[in-house]
């Protein structure tokens, strides 16, 4: 019975992947997107998500080479060069996440089912099965969002790393060491928005992770970008991604190792007592925190459902006149109550709050509740 059911679900999965692939592949190529979400629990009985990554060849190491390679690749695709499809398949990988089911299922049966879905994904994408990286997404139970894979999982999986490009920016991607790979696709539109408005602005990227927002801000011509994270590992990855895109000026691009909650609290206190100088304020702040974090490196326990109001207030207190805060969350439980926030600054500047969730959801996440986002802008 299970064999027939698994075969039926594999066919459903394959058909959905084929349809989505046809829909998204041209869109991705047209928009210079090399990695995107192809499937996201579209079918309830198939609780998987599938992310596709096309790596750049190993000899492509900078933006100019990447742009040249992609232009050439697109020209060959237009001329129906069959060889280019085979070459792309060699550089294409996928991460297949299985979401923890809300009910008990026999572990061996689950493994067998998961393997069959991975085989189906490889066949549908026309890539080798070894290019499918399988991961389990468990419901968070008090660990950091950017959780590292357990040692046994890492031993069983060969390291898969490479460079990919997104809208002209380059990023290091690690498919195997962590649950997440270093680039959150759902924030692609917000990253682009930051790039569009960053010219000559000072930018603060909190909980910066691997620095993708920082890269886009720097590309947009920001005069100053500060990336803050408690993890040295992530700060180093952020530096590497910035360096990949030729942003190495130590006076303009700053990396601060700090607990973001405490960092904000200290800055906000200085703003309240009048000791925060004008040049210490920021024109743009990006606040995209984990839903929950109790890192061993700090006494702070972050619960965004509880703490979002104070974090947003602290950010507003250190913005420049005319400055803007972009606050986003993956928490489905957070209720954004505007009445809990100030309607104006101490100096009387109006704070304009706009829900930008709808416009911040990319095409490959349409119909999902991947995040919620707000723009909070201070009048000049």
Is the pLDDT at 230 greater than 60? The verdict is: yes
Q: Residues of 228-251 as b/e, b for ≥16 C-beta within 10 angstroms?
A: bbbbeebbebbbebbebbebeeee
Among 221, 210, 154, residue whose Cα is nearest residue 187:
210
For residue 267, give Cα distances in angstroms to 263, 314, 349.
Answer: 6, 8, 19
What's residue 237's pLDDT?
97
The mean pLDDT value for 218-244 works out to 97
Please check whether residue 370 is in contact with residue 186, taking contact to mean a CB–CB distance below 8 angstroms: yes
Helix, strand and coil content of the chain, in percent to the nearest 5, comes to 40, 25, 35
**Predicted confidence band at 346 (pLDDT cuts at 50, 70, 90)?**
confident
**Predicted confidence band at 54 (pLDDT cuts at 50, 70, 90)?**
very high
Q: What is the DSSP letter of 148?
A: B
The mean pLDDT value for 284-298 works out to 86
Transcribe 48-61 into DSSP letters: EEEEEEEPPPTT--
The mean pLDDT value for 205-234 works out to 98
Instruction: Name the residue with higher pLDDT: 338 or 142.
Output: 338
Please state, in angstroms and rounded to a whole number, the distance separating the CA atoms of residues 279 and 73.
45
């Amino acid at each position: 019975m299970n064999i027939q059911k698994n075969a039926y679900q594999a066919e459903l999965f394959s058909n959905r992947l084929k349809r989505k692939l046809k829909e998204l592949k041209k869109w991705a190529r047209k928009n210079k997107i090399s990695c995107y979400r192809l499937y996201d629990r579209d079918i309830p009985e198939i609780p998987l998500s599938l992310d596709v990554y096309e790596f750049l060849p190993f000899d492509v190491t900078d933006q100019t080479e990447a742009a040249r390679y992609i232009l050439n690749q697109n020209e060959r695709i237009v001329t129906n060069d069959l060889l280019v499809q085979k070459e792309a398949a060699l550089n294409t990988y996928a991460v297949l996440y299985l979401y923890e089911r809300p009910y008990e299922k026999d572990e061996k049966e689950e493994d067998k089912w998961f393997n069959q879905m991975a085989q189906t994904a490889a066949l549908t994408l026309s890539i080798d099965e070894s290019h499918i990286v399988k991961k389990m997404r468990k419901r968070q139970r008090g660990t950091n969002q950017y959780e590292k894979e357990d040692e046994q999982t890492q031993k069983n999986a060969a390291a898969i790393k490479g460079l990919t490009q997104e809208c002209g920016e380059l990023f290091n991607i690690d498919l195997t060491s962590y649950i997440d790979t270093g680039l959150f696709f759902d924030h692609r539109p917000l990253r682009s928005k930051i790039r569009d408005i960053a010219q000559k602005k000072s930018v603060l990227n909190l909980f910066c992770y691997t620095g993708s927002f920082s890269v886009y801000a720097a590309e947009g011509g920001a005069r100053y970008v500060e990336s803050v994270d408690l993890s040295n590992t992530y700060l180093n990855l952020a530096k590497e991604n910035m360096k990949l895109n030729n942003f190495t000026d130590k006076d303009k691009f700053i990396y601060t190792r700090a607990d973001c909650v405490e960092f904000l609290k200290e800055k906000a206190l200085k703003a309240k007592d009048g000791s925060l100088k004008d040049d210490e304020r920021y024109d743009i702040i990006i606040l995209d925190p984990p839903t929950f974090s109790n890192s061993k490196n700090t006494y702070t326990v972050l619960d965004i459902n509880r703490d979002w109001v104070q974090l947003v207030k602290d950010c507003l207190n250190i913005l420049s006149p005319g400055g803007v805060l972009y606050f986003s969350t993956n928490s489905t439980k957070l209720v954004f109550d505007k009445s809990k926030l100030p309607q104006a600054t101490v100096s009387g500047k109006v704070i304009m709050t706009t829900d930008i969730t709808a416009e911040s959801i990319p095409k490959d996440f349409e119909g999902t509740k991947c995040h919620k986002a707000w723009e909070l802008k201070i009048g000049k």
